[in-house]
Amino acid sequence: MQIALAPMEGLVDEILRDVLTRVGGIDWCVTEFIRVTERVLPASSYQKLAPELFSGAQTAAGTPVRVQFLGSDPACLADNAAYACTLGAPVIDLNFGCPAKTVNKSRGGAVLLKEPELLHAIVREVRRAVPAQVPVTAKMRLGFDHKDYALACAQALAEGGAAQIVVHARTKVEGYKPPAHWEWVARVQEVVKVPVYANGEVWTLDDWRRCREVSGVDDFMLGRGLVARPDLARQIAVARAGQPVVPMTWAELQPLLADFWLQARRKISPRYAPGRLKQWLAMLTRSYPEATELFNLLRRENDCLRIDSLLGIDFIGSERAEQASA
């Protein structure tokens, strides 16, 4: 059984990948989508969206990081994938689920689920272009505005050479509205031999149990649930091993929150760092009442120094210590 941390553009960046994979239970994660239109992107794009490639293609906890591409031109995607492999991408993942209007308008993401032959051509070309030892995987929704092609799309991906398929069990039109149709994951797994991952609406251990029962699969990708409950993957791994599950407390979460903020201070401009902290805190309010209190305290705060002091963090001191140890 594998548990993956879902790609989430604008939310799960290198900082959150680092912090969440340190909690444990996550077998692999994947970058935010890298949009490919007409040329091979320079190394600087990867430095921004897939910085782990420059430190062994894994997070500090040792969790492998896959590189996700989004586009519709098979040859261009193939060229970019081949280049990413020269930078050390261990797995190439292809996005066929993005619901964004701007992306879909330029023939990318979920809109491609209307064209199973194109899905096949994309995976085939990318598969051909990358070294044999680098798996190509795919992430799909159940369709664009209906589910009639869901099985044909999954078959097209598998026949094209996808080694695994993640199914976000909703159509594009269904957006993020519950429920996720986990029973469709079972239907997809019936028609392809490669492992199928269930994805969508797993927020708690009980959700995971139900998802496993309904989908019948053993592999899962967790998105918002894992951001809102950072030990969700660990809880699942512990439960599977038949051990008693002890959820992470708010106090145990504090070092992670502090580290998230320190990294945000270092890597993101002071203009945007507070927003990132509030974004994660807002999601944590789903699982921790204490997060609501902290969120309300920080809600109107945009000054990094004042946020340091509200969090009890000595950023300047920690910078000095970092420099001294470098």
Ligand X SMILES: Cc1cc2nc3c(=O)[nH]c(=O)nc-3n(C[C@H](O)[C@H](O)[C@H](O)COP(=O)(O)O)c2cc1C
- Is 100 near ligand X (CB under 6 A)? no
Residues 6 or more apart in contact with residue 174 via CB below 8 angstroms: 142
Shortest spacing between CB 50 and ligand X, in angstroms:
12
Q: Quick check: 284 and 228 in contact, CB under 8 A? A: yes
143 binding ligand X? (CB under 6 A): no
- Residues 103 to 142: which contact ligand X by CB under 6 A? 139
Task: Report DSSP letters for 217-237, one per residue.
Answer: -SEEEE-HHHHHSTTHHHHHH
* Smallest distance, ligand X to C-beta of residue 207, A: 9
How far is 277 from 264, CA to CA, in rounded Å?
8
Q: Is 241 helix (H, G, I), strand (E, B) or coil?
A: coil
Tokens of 193: 């031999």
Prior bond of 179 cis (ω within 30°): yes
Q: Counting contacts by CB under 6 A, is residue 95 touching ligand X?
A: yes
Nearer to ligand X, 161 or 223 (CB): 223
Closest alpha carbon to 185 in 241, 132, 140, 120? 140
Q: Does 153 qualify as catalytic in the annotation?
A: no
Residue type, 5: L
- Between β-strands 65-70 and 28-30, what pairing exists: parallel, antiparallel or unpaired? parallel
Closer to ligand X by Cβ: residue 154 or 313: 154
Query: Is 224 annotated for ligand binding?
Result: yes
* Among 111, 181, 178, 105, residue whose Cα is nearest residue 145: 111
Catalytic residue among 29, 85, 98, 153: 98
What's the rounded Cα separation, in Å, for the pair 252 and 311?
Answer: 15
Give 156 or 304: the residue with its C-beta nearer to ligand X. Answer: 156
Choose which of 35, 120, 124, 168 interacts with ligand X (CB under 6 A). 168
Question: Does residue 283 touch ligand X according to CB under 6 A?
Answer: no
Instruction: Report the nearest approach of ligand X to the CB of residue 45 (Å).
Output: 14
Over the window 212 to 231, marking each residue x when it contacts ligand X by CB under 6 A and - when it does not, the resulting string is: ----------xxxx------
Residue 139 assigned to a binding site:
yes
- Which position among 3, 7, 72, 308 is part of the footprint of ligand X (CB under 6 A)? 7
74 binds ligand X (CB under 6 A): no
Name the site residues for ligand X (rule: CB under 6 A): 6-11, 32-33, 68, 95, 97-98, 139, 168, 199-202, 222-225
Which residues have a catalytic role annotated? 98
